[in-house]
């Protein structure tokens, strides 16, 4: 059963119970009120008899003959020979002894229409109670002595001489009134129940509308739309709080799924880079190995017997071996950096380190003039040897990819919380798409460039790996004919570290 059906069933059950309770209470209250009125009327009639009824209003009315115009008792009769037409004609009156014997002539039936009815009284009336006036009174209901006759309300009063005055009134009007009330209550209750169910259906539909939105949102999310959110957040309502909680959960699911997708993408990219790295490394190593093999073959064909050939073979083998050694050393360094091995963390004065690197590069490559600028000391935390290699590789890149005579500038500056090192040259520059790939391993802007001049393509990759291991960033910017600028940013040393130096 759906939630809407259960709520409607609950509303209907509550409304039905409330209506039944209200109907019963109303029915009983009206019945008690009508019985109280009958009891009051019976009390007035009893008082009339107790103080002596007027002629024609007492027991003498019962002596009238239905066909006479005036009986022996002088009571009036109705025209046409009907029942007596006095005020007490519709009430039963009886005077009896304490043992239940009717005193002669002291009994009058109650007339309904032209038919006389009397209540079926017990032989001995008991249950008398003293009322506010000091009289002993007993009140009860009794059926009619005639089958199909009306029910009577009976009042019995114990008189001073020990006799009992019994007066009774038929409850036909009371029963009719209560019957009419019952029919009205049934009709009104049925209509109220229908209205309650219709109103409940409308209210439940409005109240459950946010849950319908939740259902639609769940369907959208199940179809793959993780950005969808449940509408109707409201901390003041239960459904609104549910929507807010679901949105928080959906945000976390989306974040977790996004992290998983990003992790899978990084894994695929890493696998692809590994495959490319292995292929490039194999390609780079194949060239010097093939050269050494060729020199060995040449040596086996008799080059050892010729001094000039022997010297050329040995120089070639030495050159290719050095090249392989540098390549293997670079690969090992990149492997260590990829493993995330911790670097030495000590305060490093960046200005003096760069000044030393500039001095060394000027000695190694005097054909490439260098200038150095630094306004103040700048200190970072890291491995001095690795940071020196970063500057050396950037300056070696200038010598490898710019013509002789190209000038370069090395600048060290301190920012708010980072140190910035720039190496800029006025060489031929590079296209923006080339600058975006220069830090990739084995990348060459000019694939046709000779490896003897261009190197292995790992120098800038090592720069990027070392800077990243220090928590910094490196970028390249250039335009054809306007030179190239490399920018390295590193976190500044904390104040307590600076004070410790």
Higher pLDDT, 77 or 17: 17
Q: What is the pLDDT of residues 259-272, one digit of tens each?
A: 888 888 888 877 77
Domain ranges of the chain: 236-341, 342-500
- Under the banding of pLDDT at 50, 70 and 90, the label for residue 64 is very low
Indicate the fold that domain 342-500 takes in CATH.
Heat Shock Protein 90 (3.30.565)
Query: Residue ranges of the alpha helices (H) in 378-431?
Result: 384-401
**What integer best gives the mean pLDDT of the chain?**
80
In sign, the C-alpha dihedral spanning 53, 54, 56, 60 is positive
For 292-334, the pLDDT digits (tens) are 787 777 777 666 666 676 777 778 778 778 777 777 776 776 6
Q: Give CA–CA dist 144/261, Å, rounded.
A: 93
Per-residue pLDDT tens digits for 209-260 = 777 777 787 788 778 777 778 777 788 877 788 888 888 888 888 888 888 8
With contact defined as beta carbons under 8 Å apart, do 407 and 425 qualify?
yes
The answer on pLDDT for 5 being more than 80 is yes
Does 453 score more than 70 pLDDT?
no
At residue 164, φ and ψ (nearest 5 deg) are -125, 125
pLDDT of residue 87: 47
The pLDDT score that the predictor gives to residue 315 is 80
Paired with 90 in beta bridges are: none
Q: In terms of DSSP H, where are the helices of 307-349?
A: 307-339
Phi, psi (degrees; rounded to nearest 5) at 415: -100, -160
The answer to whether 414 touches 378, Cβ cutoff 8 Å, is yes
State pLDDT tens for residues 412-439.
998 878 999 999 999 888 888 787 778 8
User: Taking 60 as the threshold, does the pLDDT of residue 81 lie above it?
Assistant: no
Spatial CB neighbours of 320, under 8 Å, sequence gap ≥ 6: 288, 289, 291, 292, 295
**Residue 296: per-residue pLDDT:** 76
Asked whether the predicted pLDDT for residue 167 surpasses 80, the reply is: yes
Task: For 106-154, write each residue's pLDDT tens digit.
Answer: 888 888 888 889 999 998 888 889 888 888 999 898 999 888 888 999 9
Strands 484-491 and 473-478: antiparallel
3 state SS of 90: coil
* Top-confidence residue, 280 or 335: 335
Are 467 and 490 in contact by the 8 Å Cβ rule? The answer is yes
Residue 159 main-chain phi, psi, to 5 deg:
-85, 175
At residue 314, the pLDDT reads 79
* CATH of 236-341 given 3.30.300.30, 1.10.287.130, 1.10.10.10, 2.120.10.90: 1.10.287.130
pLDDT for the residue numbered 74 = 38
pLDDT at position 489: 93
Of the two residues 280 and 472, the one the predictor is more confident about is 472
Interatomic CA distance for residues 53 and 105, integer angstroms: 15
Which residues is 370 bridged to in the sheet?
Answer: 408
pLDDT at residue 234 in the model:
80
């Amino acid at each position: 059963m759906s939630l809407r059906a259960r709520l409607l069933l609950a509303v209907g059950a509550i409304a039905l119970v409330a209506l039944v309770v209200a109907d019963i209470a109303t029915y009983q209250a009206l019945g008690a009120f009508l019985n109280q009125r009958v009891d009051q009327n019976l009390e007035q009639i009893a008082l009339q008899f107790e103080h002596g009824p007027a002629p024609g209003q007492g027991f003498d009315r019962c002596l009238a003959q239905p066909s006479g115009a005036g009986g022996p008792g002088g009571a009036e009769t109705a025209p046409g020979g009907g029942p007596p037409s006095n005020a007490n004609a519709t009430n039963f009156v009886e005077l009896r002894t304490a043992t239940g014997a009717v005193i002669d002539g002291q009994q009058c039936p109650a007339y309904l229409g032209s038919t006389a009815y009397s209540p079926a009284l017990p032989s001995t009336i008991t249950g008398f109670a003293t009322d506010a006036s000091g009289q002993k009174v007993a009140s009860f209901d009794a059926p009619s002595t005639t089958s199909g006759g009306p029910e009577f309300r009976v009042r019995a009063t114990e008189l001073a001489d020990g006799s009992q005055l019994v007066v009774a009134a038929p409850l036909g009007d009371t029963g009719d009134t209560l019957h009419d009330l019952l029919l009205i209550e049934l009709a009104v209750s049925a209509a109220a129940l229908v209205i309650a169910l219709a109103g409940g259906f409308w209210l439940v539909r409005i109240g459950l509308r946010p849950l319908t939105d939740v259902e639609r949102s769940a369907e959208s999310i199940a179809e793959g739309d993780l950005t969808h959110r449940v509408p109707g957040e409201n901390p003041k309502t239960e459904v609104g709080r549910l929507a807010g909680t679901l949105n928080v959960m959906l945000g976390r699911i989306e974040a977790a799924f996004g992290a998983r997708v990003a992790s899978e993408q990084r894994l695929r990219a890493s696998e692809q880079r590994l495959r490319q790295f292995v292929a490039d490394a194999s390609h780079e190593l194949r060239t010097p190995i093939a050269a050494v093999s060729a020199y060995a073959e040449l040596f086996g064909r008799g080059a050892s017997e010729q001094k000039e050939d022997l010297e050329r073979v040995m120089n070639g083998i030495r050159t290719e071996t050095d090249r392989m050694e540098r390549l293997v050393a670079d690969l090992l360094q990149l492997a260590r950096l990829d493993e995330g091995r911790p670097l030495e963390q000590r305060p490093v004065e960046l200005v003096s380190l760069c000044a030393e690197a500039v001095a060394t590069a000027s000695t190694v490559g005097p054909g490439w003039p260098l200038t150095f600028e630094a306004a103040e000391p700048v200190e970072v935390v890291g491995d001095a040897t690795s940071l020196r290699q970063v500057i050396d590789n950037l300056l070696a890149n200038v010598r490898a990819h710019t013509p002789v005579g190209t000038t370069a500038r090395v600048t060290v500056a301190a920012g708010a919380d980072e140190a910035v090192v720039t190496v800029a040259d006025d060489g031929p520059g590079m296209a923006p798409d080339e600058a975006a790939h220069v830090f990739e391993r084995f990348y060459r802007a000019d694939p046709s460039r000779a490896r003897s001049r261009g190197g292995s393509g790992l120098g800038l990759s090592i720069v990027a790996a070392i800077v990243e291991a220090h928590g910094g960033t490196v970028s390249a910017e250039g335009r054809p004919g306007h030179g190239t600028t490399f920018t390295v940013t590193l976190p500044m040393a904390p104040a307590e570290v600076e004070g410790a130096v």
